[in-house]
A and B are shown apart, each in its own frame.
Chain A
Amino acid sequence: KNQVEQSPQSLIILEGKNCTLQCNYTVSPFSNLRWYKQDTGRGPVSLTIMTFSENTKSNGRYTATLDADTKQSSLHITASQLSDSASYICVVSDRGSTLGRLYFGRGTQLTVWP
């Protein structure tokens, strides 16, 4: 069964600290993995996309890593800000095109305290 598991389920950190969120998947075949940020009451917004051949990709203070051999990905947030408080969702696609199927994790709820 294709699955996407995220950990931790929730995380509280102080403003300015770093944190790392984890995503393990069993989806096969694998095309790409995206990290989304979903603010409360909003729809998810894509942060990064990574393919099989990519190990690291950054988007500002967000850095995603991918180990396609172990089927693990992480999202590292540097120097957290209050606005980083959101749910972070890992999504794996089995095909790059719009014919592909998307597998969603349950997300990690991050809360940044002042």
Chain B
Amino acid sequence: EADIYQTPRYLVIGTGKKITLECSQTMGHDKMYWYQQDPGMELHLIHYSYGVNSTEKGDLSSESTVSRIRTEHFPLTLESARPSHTSQYLCASSVETSGFETQYFGPGTRLLVL
């Protein structure tokens, strides 16, 4: 079982609200990711970080922002939620072992924007 946590697990919120999805890991991993996943679709990378004070945008255009002030913490913020943001958000961290990167995923946050 990976030591990576996400809160909240479920969130229902109205349009225009500001929300922050929390992600923390206790494995000391440098690289962390945020993915968006819709039912029956592949995971889309929206943000990633190589370490403290490093943040990069992923492949999928996103109106969210992230920060990485501490190694263990990688929160994602939506300044103004919209119904199009309804999705599942997965956080992951990774470590390189024997030359290969292994990702560990959190349980996800299911977001519904009304």
Interface of A (DSSP majority class): loop
Q: Please measure, in the bound complex, the distance between the C-alpha atom of A9 and the C-alpha atom of B40, giving whole angstroms.
A: 8
A1 within 8 A of B: no
Interface contact B108-A42, CB-CB below 8 Å: yes
Q: A93-B101, A105-B42 are in contact. Are A43 and B106 (CB under 8 A)?
A: yes
Interface residue A49 (Cβ < 8 Å from any Cβ of B): yes
Chain B: number of interface residues, binned into ranges:
20 to 34
Contact with A along B82-102 (1 / 0, CB 8 A): 000000001110111001111
Closest to A51 in B: B100
Q: How far is the CB of A81 from chain B (nearest CB, A)?
A: 19
Q: Decide if the interface of chain B is mainly helix, strand, loop or mixed.
A: strand
- Chain A residue with the shortest CB-CB distance to B33: A102
B105 interface residue, CB < 8 Å from A? Answer: yes
Contact status B41-A106, CB under 8 Å: yes
For chain A, the bracket of interface size reads 20 to 34
Q: How far is the CA of A106 from the CA of B110 in the complex (A)?
A: 18
A78 at the interface (CB under 8 A from B): no
Which residues of A sit under 8 angstroms from B2, Cβ to Cβ? 43, 45
Interface of B with A (CB < 8 Å)? 2, 4, 30-31, 40-43, 45, 50, 90-92, 94-96, 99-103, 105-108, 110
